[in-house]
Amino acid sequence: MQKSIPTLFMRGGTSRGPFFLAEDLPQDIPSRDQVLLAVMGSPDRRQIDGMGGANPLTSKVGIVSRGTLPGVDLNFLFAQVVIDKAFVDTTPNCGNMLAAVVPFAIERGLIQAQPGTTTARVLTLNTDMQCDVTVQTPNGLIEYEGAANIDGVPGTSAPIKINFLDTAGSVCSGLLPTGKILDVIDDLEITCIDNGMPMVLFKAEDVGRTGYESVAEMNADVELKARIETLRIKAGHLMGLGDVTNNTFPKMCLVAKPNAGGSVTTRCFIPHVCHDAIGVLAAVTVATACVMEGSVCDGICSLGEGIAKTVSVEHPTGEFSVELALDPNNPQNVTQAALLRTARLIMRGEVMVPSHLSKLF
Ligand code: NQM
């Protein structure tokens, strides 16, 4: 007999995947990972025997439980299920899947919806990061429909506001893990930065590209992808991350002058496939580099005046606006980042895993 596990299949921002109550999965990590690999159909390039969509953005899982720290409503663990390797990476965050956590928690009765809107404090267990997430709950029920549009998702949905409270140095030792705003690897200037996501930023023109290429062009660019992977491995050591060969970070991002009225243009490799848009904390991290003097974005990005900055990060399917609050005494220092996402419950039910895994529960 196959084993059934209750799940809600949800879109969070521009990602999607099954969400589970932590108590419904095996408690030890190797067993949990075996189950998640089976749920998603990994390792297999097509994930044909599971729920995964054969793209990093659709090979994600959310695991949610009640908060255990004072003031924290919910704990969220994000799992990136690697498509073609038997590996589940829970090191980095995913701000897109995060958008579905509060709707999931209301659906599954972990928290009670308030009249109008409901704000919950979520602790992301991956990096110990807290944020406040506000969802629409007219009549005390979660509302998915509404007028908010995020680029990369067709149509409109109810807005979900995420306010990140402490993002610097999520996986790395600090915001600038090499201690410098600019490093040089193989004659290429890079900014290694982690404000929620470990990233290596470099100018598209410095690698002979425009930064305006389509996702298909980027993914077909074998020469660029090989160069980026060599750079990623070297940068991983420089950033104190050790050998990142098998990790899903750092993300690699080409930056260029904006060409659609935004602040900066990006093409983000996550890390081997070009993102159709940009990750949430990747956008926060790029936006942060834009306000920092001497980064590779300095000189190419276009920002308004003032101490609160809206940074519009252009990506292959539109733009992503990040509202940054800066420390008035040190405008290089980002104190908070707020942004808009949407989410939707796509399906509720049970996912089945092969019978030999039953003994793991
Ligand atoms: O950066 C893709 C995504 C992400 C991660 C990735 C994310 C984030 O778009 O916070 O959301 O970089 O692998 O879901």
Ligand 1: distance of its center to the CA of 235 in Å? Answer: 19
Q: How far, CA to CA in Å, does 268 sit from each of 186, 279, 361?
A: 20, 8, 38
Q: Is pLDDT of 293 > 90?
A: yes
The structure tokens listed for 115 are: 């009249």
Distance 303 CA to ligand 1 centre (A): 24
Residue with tokens 């001497």: 294
User: What is the full DSSP assignment across 339-355?
Assistant: EEE-EEEEEEEEEEE-G
- Closest-lying ligand 1 atom to the alpha carbon of residue 12: 14
Determine contact, residues 224/238, Cβ cutoff 8 Å.
no
Question: In degrees rounded to 5, what are phi and psi of residue 301?
Answer: -90, 155
Q: What is the pLDDT averaged over residues 225-239?
A: 98
Helix, strand or coil, per DSSP, at residue 269: strand
Helix H or strand E encompassing 36? helix 29-40
Examine the pLDDT at 305 and tell me if it is beyond 90: no
Residue 97 CA, closest ligand 1 atom number: 14
Domain architecture of the chain: domains with CATH: 3-167+343-357 (3.10.310.10), 183-331 (3.10.310.10)
- The letter for the amino acid at 247 is N
Residues having CB closer than 6 A to ligand 1 are 14-15, 56-57, 93-96, 197, 251, 270, 275, 279-282
pLDDT in tens, 190-220: 999 999 999 999 999 999 999 999 999 999 9
The answer to whether 103 touches 142, Cβ cutoff 8 Å, is yes
Confidence tier at 332 by pLDDT (50, 70, 90)? confident
Give the atom of ligand 1 at the shortest distance from the alpha carbon of 268.
12
Q: How far is the CA of 356 from the centre of ligand 1 (A)?
A: 32
CB-based burial, 20-31: b 16+ in 10 Å, e otherwise: bbeeebbeeeee
State the average pLDDT for the chain.
Answer: 97
pLDDT at 66: 98
CA of 345 from ligand 1 middle (Å) equals: 19
DSSP β-bridge partners for residue 102: none
Position 308 pLDDT exceeds 90: no
pLDDT band at 43 (very low <50, low <70, confident <90, very high): very high
Locate tokens 């807290």: which residue?
130
Centre of ligand 1 from the C-alpha of residue 139, in Å: 32
Which of 15, 89, 151 most suits a substitution to test ligand 1, by most atoms within 8 Å of the C-beta?
15
* Ligand 1 mean position, distance from CA 280 (Å): 6
> Are the C-beta atoms of 313 and 266 separated by less than 8 Å?
yes
Conformational region of residue 261, where left means phi above 0, alpha means psi within -120 to 50, and beta covers everything else:
left
Is 200:235 a contact under the CB 8 Å cutoff? yes
Which of 43-47, 276-280, 305-309, 342-346 has the lowest average pLDDT?
305-309
Q: Measured between alpha carbons, how far is 311 from 121 in angstroms, rounded to an integer? A: 24
| Per-residue model confidence as pLDDT tens digits over 81-97 | 999 999 999 999 999 99
Asked whether the CA dihedral 112, 118, 120, 126 is positive or negative, the reply is: positive
Protein residue with least CA distance to atom 3, ligand 1:
279
